[in-house]
Amino acid sequence: MARPYGENENITFTLAAKLHAAGIPFAFQSGYEAYVPKTRVVHFEAALSVAYGLPHEVALAGCTSAAAKILGVEDRIGSLKPGLEADLALFDGDPLETVTHCTGVIIGGRIVSERIK
């Protein structure tokens, strides 16, 4: 979703699928621009990558476990495994679908939101 100029001149929506096919680790990032926080578009970018050839499960990992591994924190976060921290966003459908709503958030084992967003 970056703008195609400068070092991003040759970006493509198929980049994630190409990186995956080549065995190159990658993750989706939220980024920030002064006029709009980008955290809300991470799932959209992952979904767009699925539309352009990335396997669905790889796109989800790009928002969770793959990102944790790249950052070197996979021993603490990124997967649902015994002993790991488990902050969760709960959805009423596929998190990569635009019609899906977040129905709850659990942080540190406590429900912090049950408001549908």
Cα–Cα dist 4/55, whole Å = 24
Question: Helix (H, G, I), strand (E, B), or coil: what is residue 48?
Answer: helix
Q: CA-to-CA distance for 88 and 107, rounded, in angstroms? A: 6
With residue 15 as reference, give the H or E element that holds it: helix 15-21
Residue 115 in any domain: the answer is yes
Is residue 22 included in any domain, yes or no?
A: yes
Domain count, the chain: 2
Q: Taking residues 26-30, what's their average pLDDT?
A: 89
Q: Do 65 and 20 reside in the same domain of the chain?
A: yes
The rounded distance, in Å, linking the Cα atoms of 9 and 82 is 43
* Residue 1, domain member (yes or no): no
pLDDT confidence of residue 14: 93
The answer to whether residue 51 is domain-embedded is yes
The pTM assigned to this predicted structure is 0.83
Mean pLDDT across the stretch 17-44?
Answer: 83
User: Is 81 inside a domain boundary?
Assistant: no
Which amino acid makes up residue 87? D
Same structural domain for residues 65 and 97?
no
What stretch of H or E contains 70? helix 65-71
Q: Is residue 24 part of a domain?
A: yes
Range of the domain at 117: 87-117
